[in-house]
A = this chain, B = another copy of it.
Amino acid sequence: MNTRIKELRKENKLSQEELALAVGTTRQTISSIETGKYVASLPLAYKIARYFGLTIEEVFDLSEYIE
């Protein structure tokens, strides 16, 4: 699954660590989500989206889950 997290981080000049702290998770979790190792949980997806002032669908490309 693709996400715009890395792109949004760069635009806002944030490290993974800084974003992780801001949304209450770990840097490794942000890394894992960015690299596609696993899919963010709904609560975390929401917190990340809200942090950037966007909707979940604007941050996470979920099209692969729909035919």
Q: Which residues of A contact B (CB under 8 A)?
A: 1, 39-43, 45-47, 50, 55-57, 60, 62, 65-66
Contact = CB atoms under 8 A, between A and B. Distances in A.
Nearest to A39: B42
Nearest to A24: B65
B42 A45 contact: yes
Nearest to A65: B43
A65 B46 contact: yes
A3 B47 CA distance: 17
A66 to B, nearest CB: 6
A65 B41 CA distance: 12
Contacts of A50: 66
